[in-house]
Amino acid sequence: MGVQWLLVCHGLVTLLVVVSFLCGQWPIFQGTFIQRIHFFITFGAYDYFGRFVHFVCGSRGTNALLSVENYCCDRPNPIIQLIYLLIIGATYYSIAKSSFIYIPGYYLGGVHRYTSFLAVGMGILLFLLTSFSDPGVVNSANVSQYLSAYPYDNIIFSEKECSTCKIPKPARSKHCSICNRCVLLMHHHCAWMNNCIGERNTRYFMAFILWHFLICIYGIVALALILAGRLKELQVIHILTAYYGIEKSFRKLAPLVVQWLLNAYNTQILIMVFLAVVSLLLAGFFTYHTKLCLTNTTTNESFKWREHLSWQRKVKEAKASAEALKASLGELNQERKPQESKWKTFFRRSRLEELDVVKNNIYDRGFLHNIYEVAVPFSTRRSFLLNKSKSG
């Protein structure tokens, strides 16, 4: 088998593993082998490993494994932060090592040696900013301002106290069980950042995702321009057509050019495939979060709304079927009515279809206002700080 086919297989297997790991639990993959691979990577393999440790080391080994698991999954720790730094560092290093010799090239100016470094540096800066910034922790000093800033909607948030922090729980806050604190507008606890994503750092988090998407696209385009430049500089098309007498048509030339690129520049092509997969995932993640930000809903709230709406729908359905039953009993008691035309019955909307449940999100005040709230969080504004010094 040729080198190019080994590379294609390698790329496909990497793609399959990455997609299965990150998206395997999506409804679209339910019942497919991608879901099974996801289950194996996230649970099955670890389960077999646990059994193996128990078999070899007994209960002491199992206890040690459980304490490692507790440290890695249930407590704040920098392991995945280090993995992020390793991934971005290794990717940049392999690009620099394999491709910087071709810069400046036919299509790419020498300045890209420096701009690429700046782009990655900016990415790491956004990472540090999101990781080490205050996500909007609720404490006894600021709880009264938060309580007055976000009124309870009495639908998904009602007045209560956090049983762990022992302070009133403002509307739109959530207790993070990993960091053991209440955070306002909490989206989720991000293991990559080792920090919660909440009111004050959602802006950095969104900038981080968008910036990394752009870095991936920059990398793909720059590498493509380097390869196009090599084709031009080495006169590959000219050699193929003039020396080997191959017809000058796209259909005849494209497979040969691709084969040549896969043989001569396999590192660059593998990096481009990797960047393409990562950029797709980042684009999906960014779109999902943008949709939430535009409607002023946190990830946590979107789950709460889903639960609330499905419950409301069930209540309405139960009421409607009770009414339908009552009506049909009434009809039975009445004398025979003239039969309704078949067409009329066909076009009459089902009673269940009329059960519209509305999402009455009082925090959604138009997308411009919502964007402003993400960009300039309430607790960073002058009014909040003045209020704080007055009450403090």
31 torsion bin: left (phi>0), alpha (psi -120 to 50), beta (else): left
List Cβ neighbours of 233 (8 Å cut-off, separation of 6 or more). Answer: 105, 106
Residue from 36, 175, 188, 304 touching Zn ion (CB under 5 A): that is 175
Q: Would you list the DSSP string of 42-65?
A: IIIHHHHHHHHHHHHHHHHHHHHH
Residue 189 as a binder of Zn ion (CB under 5 A): the answer is yes
Q: How far apart are CA 99 and CA 267, in angstroms?
A: 9
The minimum distance between CB 274 and Zn ion, in angstroms, equals 29
Q: Which of 273, 237, 227, 235 is nearest to 103 (CA)?
A: 227
**Shortest distance in whole angstroms from residue 8 CB to Zn ion:** 41
Give min distance, CB of 389 to Zn ion, in A. Answer: 25
Instruction: State the burial class of residue 21 (Cβ atoms within 10 Å of its Cβ: 0-12, 13-18, 19+).
Output: middle
Examine residue 164 and tell whether it contacts Zn ion (CB under 5 A).
Answer: yes
Q: Is 190 a known active-site residue? A: yes
| Residue with the two structure tokens 């704080």 | 388
**Per CB under 5 A, 162 contacts Zn ion:** yes
CB of 144 to Zn ion, least distance (A): 16
- On the 0-12 / 13-18 / 19+ scale of CB atoms within 10 A, 186 is buried
The catalytically annotated residue of 190, 196, 216, 293 is 190
| Residue 198 CA neighbour count, 13 Å, CB half | 25
Binding residues for Zn ion, how many (CB under 5 A)?
A: 10
Q: Which residues contact 112 (CB under 8 A, 6 or more apart)?
A: 103, 222
Closer CB to Zn ion, 208 or 265, in the complex: 208
The reply on whether position 196 binds Zn ion by CB under 5 A is: yes
CB of 163 to Zn ion, least distance (A): 8
User: For Zn ion, which stretch binds (CB under 5 A), given 19-27, 42-50, 195-203, 288-296?
Assistant: 195-203
* Choice from 19, 149, 156, 165 touching Zn ion (CB under 5 A): 165
Q: Interface with Zn ion includes 176 (CB under 5 A)?
A: yes
Cα–Cα distances in Å, from 167 out to 143, 156, 159, 177, 386? 8, 19, 11, 16, 22
Q: Residue 182 interacts with Zn ion (CB under 5 A)? A: yes
Q: Which stretch binds Zn ion (CB under 5 A): 77-85, 183-191, 355-363, 384-392?
A: 183-191
CB 130 within 8 A of CB 204: yes
Nearer to Zn ion, 34 or 149 (CB): 149
State the Cα angle at 258 between 257 and 264, rounded to 5°.
85
Residues 42-101 that bind Zn ion (CB under 5 A): none
Q: Which range, of 7-15, 42-50, 173-181, 308-316, touches Zn ion by CB under 5 A?
A: 173-181
CA distance 5 to 338: 74
Residue range at the interface with Zn ion (CB under 5 A); choices 16-24, 170-178, 259-267, 320-328 = 170-178
Nearer residue to Zn ion within complex by CB, 268 or 300: 300
Q: Would you give the end-to-end CA distance of the chain in angstroms? A: 74
Residue 143 in contact with Zn ion, rule: CB under 5 A: no
Asked whether position 179 contacts Zn ion by CB under 5 A, the answer is yes
Q: Which is nearer to Zn ion, 175 or 359 (CB)?
A: 175
Name which of 92 and 208 has its Cβ closer to Zn ion: 208
Q: Which is nearer to Zn ion, 172 or 189 (CB)?
A: 189
State the nearest-atom distance from the C-beta of 5 to Zn ion, in Å: 46
DSSP secondary structure letter of residue 195: E
Report in angstroms how near the CB of residue 25 gets to Zn ion at its nearest.
21
Does 171 bind Zn ion (CB under 5 A)? Our answer is no
Structure tokens at 159: 């007045």
Distance CA 279, CA 282 (A): 5
The residues annotated as belonging to the active site are 190
Residues that bind Zn ion in the complex, under the rule CB under 5 A: 162, 164-165, 175-176, 178-179, 182, 189, 196
